[in-house]
Amino acid sequence: MRYLPIDNQLFVENRARLTNLLRPSSVAVLNANDAMPTNADGTMGFRQNNDLFYLTGVDQEETILVLAPHHPDPTLRQVLFVRETSEQIAIWEGAKLSKTQAQQTSGVEQVRWTSDFEATFKQIIFEVDSVYLNTNEERGAGDVQTRDGRFIENFKVQFPLHRLERLAPLLRQLRSAKSAPEIALLQTAINTTEKALRGVLGFVKPGVWEFEIEAEITHTYLKNRSRGHAFQPIVAAGKNACVLHYIENNAQCQSGDLVLIDTGAEYANYNADLTRTFPVGGRFSPRQRQIYDAVLRIQQRAKTMLKAGTLFADYNKEMQPVIESELIGLKLLDKTAVENQKMDAPLYRKYLPHGLSHHLGLDVHDVGSRFVPMQAGMVFTCEPGLYVPEEGIGIRLENNVLITKNGNIDLSASVPIEADEIETLMHQTP
């Protein structure tokens, strides 16, 4: 992989934390993601199942992890299965991990070939009562069947009398709070994203195409050991910025436009997610500056709410009057209308239709329950925006914030965000 080797103690500790949550006499099984097809014999770039990566650090297809912490045979308590390489595979795809390399990457002592899985699994399964199987339970998950999904179907046929348990809630609990090594990997992704955003400050100008800005960002990511974009980047000039998930990136930046850039580097499978909005001509118009400063004030207030013990419901409730006040000040909302609005249909949603924050980590919208109070180790985006299509103005500002026991730390605090600083940098950068 492009990224530097990760100390396997991270994965050893992650497995230990998971096994402490498993029932006695149980086994947990996790499968790698599939290599997904494009057309004909083409395939998409492989992206590992994040749960499997979290527990092993192995970034290779056809990998299986089996955890049976109470098995009477110590050699079967943790077994990692990896795809066996061959001369033919090495010629066409490159060599796969050897058993020794898989041991070094994951810290799992017992590594076997994937072809040995069925025989080994039968040695394990009849010594346990409960079986933890993995599924993607996150909101908005697609309906493409996964290797985990196929395994569940086959398991029910072969072993119908075992008690099935859901693994996803346990991994959600563990993955939502990041350890120090994970935060360091996230910080690397954020730092790379900062380099890219600083790099385009001097590139953005009238006549530049959105896809050219994307290309500059991509170049910075790749030369800094990133796999590339953590998600399809948004480079939205003018009225395009009012389309929340605009990804065409095929328009030309015009003088007087703002350009909204929502991007993040992926490093070692961990993701940044930052947004900045720049004036194409290097200066904000008075109205653009007025709305920009309003968004910045909303973000500054929202960041103070990101602290241990806060519930998302309370966070959103406290932020609503702040947002409404700014919109009234911008003459986008009428104070009397706000006072008489329906509680279940707040008027500010016309100009801010998305949430203010989401979990961040191995997934860009990372696992974590919105009904569990924020706690130390969690990382959240903080991303208010105001979108005024009738004025062709869309502004979003997004930072990445770590919750600590004593408040929070903005991991992206050094990324330029004040309007004056942005204007100065855009005129200084060659």
* Residue ranges of domains in the chain: 9-175, 180-201+263-276+284-428
Q: Which of 368, 371, 348 is nearest to 358 (CA)?
A: 368
Lowest-confidence segment of 93-97, 322-326, 357-361 by average pLDDT: 93-97
* One-letter amino acid of 175: R
Report the pLDDT value the prediction gives residue 233, as an integer from 0 to 100: 98
pLDDT of residue 45: 85
pLDDT given for residue 206 in this prediction: 98
Per-residue pLDDT tens over the stretch 258-272: 999 999 999 999 999
Kindly give, in sequence order, each residue whose CB lies less than 8 Å from that of residue 159, ignoring residues fewer than 6 positions away. Answer: 125, 131
Residue 209, strand partner residues? 252
N-terminal to C-terminal alpha carbon distance within the chain: 33
CATH of domain 180-201+263-276+284-428: 3.90.230.10
Largest CA distance in the chain: 75
Res. 288 pLDDT band, cuts 50 70 90: very high
Residue 26: helix, strand or coil by DSSP?
strand
- pLDDT of 142 > 80? The answer is no
Average predicted confidence (pLDDT) for the chain: 96
- Position 138 scores a pLDDT of 78
CB atoms within 10 A of CB 416: 18
Asked if the model's pLDDT at residue 395 lies above 90, the reply is: yes
User: Which numeric CATH code is attached to 9-175?
Assistant: 3.40.350.10
- Contacts (Cβ under 8 Å, ≥6 apart) of 110: 75, 76, 78, 79, 80
Nearest to 18 by CA among 180, 181, 167: 167
Whether the per-residue pLDDT at 140 is higher than 70: the answer is no
Q: Is the pLDDT of residue 215 over 80?
A: yes
The encoded tokens of residue 251 equal 């328009």
Q: Average pLDDT of 221-227? A: 96
- Tell me, what's the pLDDT at 255? 97
Catalytic residues: 41, 245, 262, 273, 354, 358, 365, 383, 387, 396, 398
Q: How confident is the model at residue 194 (pLDDT cuts 50, 70, 90)?
A: very high
Q: Residues 374-386: what's their mean pLDDT?
A: 98
pLDDT tens figures, 313-339:
999 999 999 999 999 999 999 999 999
Tokens, residue 66: 């089996």
- The two tokens of residue 197 are 């955003």
In the DSSP assignment, the letter for residue 252 is: B
Residue 406: the pLDDT is 92
**Token output for 321:** 């009057």
Q: Check residue 268 and report its DSSP letter.
A: T
Q: Write the CB contacts of 29 (distance below 8 Å, at least 6 apart in sequence).
A: 64, 65, 66, 67, 121, 131, 132, 133, 134, 151, 155
Q: pLDDT-based confidence at 43, cuts 50/70/90?
A: confident
Q: Would you place residue 11 in the very low, low, confident or very high pLDDT band (cuts 50, 70, 90)?
A: very high
The per-residue DSSP string of 132-156 comes to EE----STT------HHHHHHHHHH
Q: How many CA atoms lie within 13 A of 241 on its CB side?
A: 32
